[in-house]
Amino acid sequence: MLAKLFYVLCGGIAGALVVLVVLFGIVFSNPTVLTPLLPVATSAQTQVLTGEVGSATIIPDMVSRVNDSVVSIVVTKDVPVYERYYEEFNPWGGWGGGFAIPRVRENGVEEQEVGGGSGFIVSSDGMVVTNRHVVNDTEARYSVITTSGESYPVEVLALDTQLDIAILKISELPANVYLEPLIFGDSTSLRLGESVVAIGNALAEFQNSVSVGVVSGLSRSIVATDGFGESEALSEVIQTDAAINPGNSGGPLLNLAGEVVGVNVATSRGADNIAFALPAHVVRDVVESVKETGAIVRPFLGVRYVTVSQELQEVNNLSVDYGALVARGERPEALAVMPGSPADRAGLRENDIILNIDGEDLRGRDLATILRGKKVGQSISLTILSQGQERVITLVLSATP
């Protein structure tokens, strides 16, 4: 019988001892991180090896071109300082001496590194991509360290609530410093066996570590967890056997042309050489949205749903074994269809099943994943099963409120 695999987000290191508390892509210990990204690849770049290593210098040459665009992210925080003191105690009320009891008390705070991760540059003015779980502590401060050893403070511009992605910006970049952004490649054309390279701040200690592997799987769906019981579902991720360690979270997964094809996010616990990266094409959409609007803007349908499975079909005597069943949440205010939403205006109702979007069946694909590929203001057609009858409705997606 196969043991259940646990996928952990690869990130920072915590505590004085290097105990691998793997946090959503961070290793906690003491902090670090930063780097670049964006243009469209030329046909010449795309032709530069999509999988076969034809020369011993291809990978070293590629790494030398892109390495300065990968940064280490440092997480710092004010933590309490404790001191030991002794409290005199005499249970005999002055007779027989007594003794001193050791005590510990707080004596102010000091700034310490508490975690680290990886990132990469996506604009020459200092915009950086990393994982959300690397920078989701609102009480912490963040900075990036470049390959030259320069450290710059960063601000968090946007945290993606759907993907484990965050966009940072260097807040004090000198006018004479130019940062070379990385280029996004076409992650939709990746092939099994294609060579890939991961660069990142391994164990939040070994800056810009390089590992080489291949694309082991495509369009994987996993549930990744941290060391504190939090988990998140990740869909359509890239599987690779390149070594992805705690501290690598947020670093780039590159093809041999030096283009970003993924953002490293999770590794496996209980198995060797199994790691995962978010595909570049969905990350690029997030970056472009933040560049254009200053925020992550996504299309909004306005329904809550449960993915239909064979088990759900059998239990509820449904006529189909796929699709998205429109259903209310557990709380009274968690309505199945949000009032005034595109779904509401189009006539979608609770217990309807969305079977198809723009000709694409929801077999093995999640509704939210398909919607991420659409644009705000785009008109889409839905095939739905409503009260036993199939019908097609058309609606225009709005922006997520």
Question: Catalytic residue positions?
Answer: 133, 164, 249
Following DSSP, what letter does each residue of 95-152 receive, concatenated?
SS--EEEEEEEEEEEEEEEEEEEEEEE-STT-EEEE-GGGS--TT-EEEEE-TT--EE
Residue 284: both structure tokens together: 């690029």
The span from the CA of 316 to the CA of 304, in Å, is 18
Q: Nearest Cα to 237, choosing from 225, 253, 255, 248? A: 253
Answer yes or no: are the C-beta atoms of 87 and 155 closer than 8 Å: no
Contacts of 92 (CB under 8 A, 6+ apart): 98
Instruction: List Cα–Cα distances, 69 to 141, 191, 217, 242, in angstroms.
Output: 21, 25, 26, 19
The span from the CA of 15 to the CA of 204, in Å, is 12
DSSP state of 318: -
Contacts of 133 (CB under 8 A, 6+ apart): 9, 11, 23, 24, 25, 26, 164, 226, 249
DSSP state of 314: H
Classify the C-alpha dihedral 387-388-394-395 as positive or negative.
positive
Unique residue bearing structure tokens 């030329």: 42
The span from the CA of 264 to the CA of 278, in Å, is 6
